[in-house]
């Protein structure tokens, strides 16, 4: 029997506001234990939550960028469960009425486009963190750090529309790129600002009814999501082929061992006893606000790739690399506009100097000048690289450095004529051999001319001049 995999993803994206979801504490990463806490996010009874308007704004922008419908009314619910990193024993989340629903994200795998549904986006708070270490007497101790408690999260839940690990990763990458473009999440997977749970099931090919799913956790890179999903599909197929049955459960990915392991039987929604949080009013969002925010949505990665490829005639692959960052794409367009030519060479340079560009160590002028000087033969490709490196080291303008270092190359044929004549006159034997058919000697002559000119001759032009002179 042939099987088909079904994958749905739940992404927890930390909203990059300065303060937490329901209090004024800082969201800064890396503070000392419990430094970013107050009675509110330490869950002291009697404290009251106050909703952070910015989090709602960022969530609405995310909803619009993923083509979701923003709900006029949404409600915060209490999701009840006990764990020591959640002292109040409930998490404030959204359940039946989330902030947004029914969107989609387009992906491309192997040149094939596909639309993946977004079921809903809801706003919720994060819990704290347990740190397990020895205490002073040498016994094991578990410590509670509540810095993360109350951090604002958006949970973005996909439809079960993906069929392969590659599609799952493509969806995640596109979603992350969108969040980065919107500046609503820093997308850092290692620090946990962009976390993904993958739901995986299998079914006989052609069957419509979904199979029982397992939920995978603990994957902190795209590569690990891909590996974990791949492993889990294989595990379920082998299990069913051996006459077993998939059970609904949560499984942990062990990156080192390369396997998923059962953690707990999955709870059902009713286990959480969801009910509307009586401390928070329903959230009412006005249409005028949504429309105002719609105006702040920038050109998104997908459309940008199409436009860059079409407008500048560069390969889609290059456009994809440029559009992987809004900053890089803007830099590219600014460079092309300055020189007003050679977009493909400019794209190559932008990709080559990507790190320096992203850390704002280069200006579009530098790359535009480097490309222009190279295109018209004023400098060689090697000199261009050297000069950009020198700009990075000294901060001086590209063309001052070029003139200062005397790196312009001689492309003027009349100036090269004399040197070529000299070289040919000095090697009569090689000239004869060349004329006799050993055309491979061309590089020998070019080498001699380069030497005579102390590396300043334009090798392309030198070749032409020699070829012409030797008939």
| Site residues (vs ligand ADP, CB under 6 A) | 6-10, 157-160, 199-201, 210-211, 213, 269
Alpha carbon 283 to its chain centroid, in Å, reads 31
Of 23, 105, 200, 367, the one binding Zn ion (CB under 5 A) is 23
Q: DSSP code of 118? A: E
Phi-psi category of 312—alpha, beta or left, where left has phi over 0 and alpha has psi -120 to 50? alpha
* Shortest distance (Å) from residue 239 CB to ligand ADP: 15
Q: Quick one: what does residue 367 bind among ligand ADP, Zn ion, none, with the CB cut-off 5 to 8 Å set by partner type?
A: none
Q: Quick one: what does residue 201 bind among ligand ADP, Zn ion, none, with the CB cut-off 5 to 8 Å set by partner type?
A: ligand ADP
* Shortest distance (Å) from residue 260 CB to ligand ADP: 14
262 vs 394 by CB, closer to ligand ADP? 262
47 vs 413 by CB, closer to Zn ion? 47
6 vs 321 by CB, closer to ligand ADP? 6
* Shortest distance (Å) from residue 76 CB to ligand ADP: 18
* Shortest distance (Å) from residue 335 CB to ligand ADP: 41
Q: Which helix (H) or strand (E) is 338 found in, with range? A: helix 326-339
- Give the largest Cα separation in the chain, rounded: 99
Angle at 59 between CA 55 and CA 60, to 5 degrees: 120
Q: Quick one: what does residue 92 bind among ligand ADP, Zn ion, none, with the CB cut-off 5 to 8 Å set by partner type?
A: none
Of 38, 259, 280, 334, the one binding Zn ion (CB under 5 A) is 38
10 vs 186 by CB, closer to ligand ADP? 10
Q: Which stretch binds Zn ion (CB under 5 A): 18-26, 200-208, 387-395, 403-411?
A: 18-26
* Shortest distance (Å) from residue 1 CB to Zn ion: 54
141 vs 269 by CB, closer to ligand ADP? 269
Q: Quick one: what does residue 91 bind among ligand ADP, Zn ion, none, with the CB cut-off 5 to 8 Å set by partner type?
A: none
Contact between 41 and Zn ion by CB under 5 A: the answer reads yes
* Shortest distance (Å) from residue 202 CB to ligand ADP: 8
Q: DSSP code of 247? A: -
Of 8, 40, 165, 459, the one binding Zn ion (CB under 5 A) is 40
Q: Which residues are CB-contacts of 94 (< 8 A; sequence separation ≥ 6)?
A: 74, 75, 76, 77, 122, 123, 124
* Shortest distance (Å) from residue 118 CB to ligand ADP: 9
Q: Which residues are CB-contacts of 352 (< 8 A; sequence separation ≥ 6)?
A: none
Q: Quick one: what does residue 6 bind among ligand ADP, Zn ion, none, with the CB cut-off 5 to 8 Å set by partner type?
A: ligand ADP
Q: Which residue is nearest to ligand ADP (CB)?
A: 8
Strand partners, 216: 198, 251
34 vs 463 by CB, closer to Zn ion? 34
40 vs 98 by CB, closer to Zn ion? 40
CB atoms within 10 A of CB 395: 8
* Shortest distance (Å) from residue 201 CB to ligand ADP: 3
CB atoms within 10 A of CB 436: 9
What Cα–Cα distance (Å) separates residue 254 from each residue in 219, 228, 235, 239? Answer: 8, 8, 14, 19
The separation between the first and the last C-alpha atoms of the chain, rounded to the nearest angstrom, is 71
* Shortest distance (Å) from residue 177 CB to ligand ADP: 19
Contact between 51 and Zn ion by CB under 5 A: the answer reads no
Q: Which helix (H) or strand (E) is 221 found in, with range? A: none
What Cα–Cα distance (Å) separates residue 93 from each residue in 54, 83, 149, 195, 407? Answer: 17, 16, 13, 17, 63
57 vs 197 by CB, closer to ligand ADP? 197
With H, G, I as helix, E, B as strand and everything else as coil, classify residue 410. strand
Percent of the chain as helix, strand, coil, to the nearest 5: 40, 25, 35
Half-sphere exposure of 302 (CA within 13 A, CB side): 18
* Shortest distance (Å) from residue 159 CB to ligand ADP: 5
Dist. CA 471–CA 467, nearest whole Å? 6
Are 99 and 74 in contact by the 8 Å Cβ rule? The answer is yes
Contact between 49 and Zn ion by CB under 5 A: the answer reads no
What Cα–Cα distance (Å) separates residue 107 from each residue in 113, 169, 303, 323? Answer: 6, 10, 12, 14
Are 298 and 179 in contact by the 8 Å Cβ rule? The answer is no
Single out the residue of 395, 401, 393 nearest to residue 370, CA to CA.
401
Q: Quick one: what does residue 36 bind among ligand ADP, Zn ion, none, with the CB cut-off 5 to 8 Å set by partner type?
A: none
76 vs 339 by CB, closer to ligand ADP? 76
Of 25, 157, 182, 233, the one binding Zn ion (CB under 5 A) is 25
Dist. CA 117–CA 105, nearest whole Å? 6
Q: Which stretch binds Zn ion (CB under 5 A): 15-23, 46-54, 111-119, 365-373?
A: 15-23
Q: Quick one: what does residue 41 bind among Zn ion, ligand ADP, none, with the CB cut-off 5 to 8 Å set by partner type?
A: Zn ion
* Shortest distance (Å) from residue 126 CB to Zn ion: 12
Contact between 462 and Zn ion by CB under 5 A: the answer reads no
CB atoms within 10 A of CB 3: 15
Q: Which residues bind Zn ion (CB under 5 A)?
A: 23, 25, 38, 40-41
């Amino acid at each position: 029997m042939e099987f088909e995999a079904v994958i749905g993803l739940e992404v927890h994206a930390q909203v990059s506001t300065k303060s937490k979801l329901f209090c004024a504490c800082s969201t800064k990463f890396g503070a000392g234990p419990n430094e970013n806490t107050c009675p509110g996010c330490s869950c002291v009874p009697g404290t009251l939550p106050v909703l952070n308007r910015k989090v709602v704004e960022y969530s609405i922008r995310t909803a619009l960028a993923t083509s979701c419908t923003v709900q006029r009314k949404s409600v915060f619910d209490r999701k009840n469960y006990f764990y020591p990193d959640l002292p109040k024993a409930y998490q404030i989340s959204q359940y039946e009425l989330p902030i947004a629903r029914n969107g989609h994200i387009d992906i491309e795998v192997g040149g094939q486009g596909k639309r993946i549904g977004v079921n809903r986006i809801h706003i919720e708070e994060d819990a704290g963190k347990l740190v397990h270490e020895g205490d002073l007497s040498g016994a094991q101790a578990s410590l509670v750090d509540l810095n993360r408690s109350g951090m604002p999260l958006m949970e973005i839940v996909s439809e079960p529309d993906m069929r392969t690990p590659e599609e799952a990763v493509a969806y995640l990458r596109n979603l992350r790129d969108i969040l980065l473009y919107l500046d609503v999440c820093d997308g850092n997977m290692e620090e946990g600002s962009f976390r993904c749970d993958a739901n995986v099931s299998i079914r006989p090919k052609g069957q419509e009814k979904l199979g029982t799913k397992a939920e995978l956790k603990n994957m902190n890179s795209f590569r690990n999501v891909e590996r974990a999903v791949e492993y889990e599909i294989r595990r379920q197929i082998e299990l069913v082929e051996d006459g077993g049955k998939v059970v609904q459960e949560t499984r942990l990915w062990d990156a080192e061992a390369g396997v998923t392991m059962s953690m707990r039987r999955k709870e059902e929604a009713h286990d959480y006893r969801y009910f509307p949080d009586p401390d928070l009013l329903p959230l009412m969002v006005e249409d005028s606000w949504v429309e105002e925010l719609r105006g702040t949505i920038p050109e998104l990665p997908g459309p940008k790739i199409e436009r860059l490829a079409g407008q500048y005639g560069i390969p889609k692959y290059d456009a994809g690399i440029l559009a992987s960052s809004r900053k890089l794409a803007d830099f590219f367009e600014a460079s092309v506009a300055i020189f007003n030519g050679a977009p493909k060479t400019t794209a190559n340079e932008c990709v080559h100097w990507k790190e320096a560009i992203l850390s704002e160590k280069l200006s579009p002028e530098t790359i535009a000048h480097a490309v222009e000087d190279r295109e018209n033969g004023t400098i060689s490709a090697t000199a261009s690289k050297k000069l950009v490196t020198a700009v990075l080291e000294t901060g001086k303008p590209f063309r001052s450095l070029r003139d200062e270092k005397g790196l312009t190359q001689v492309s003027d044929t009349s100036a090269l004529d004399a040197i070529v004549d000299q070289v040919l006159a000095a090697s009569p034997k090689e000239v004869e051999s060349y004329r006799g058919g050993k055309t491979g000697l061309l590089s020998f002559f070019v080498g001699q001319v380069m030497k005579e000119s102390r590396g300043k001759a334009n090798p392309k032009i030198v070749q032409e001049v020699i070829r012409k002179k030797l008939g």
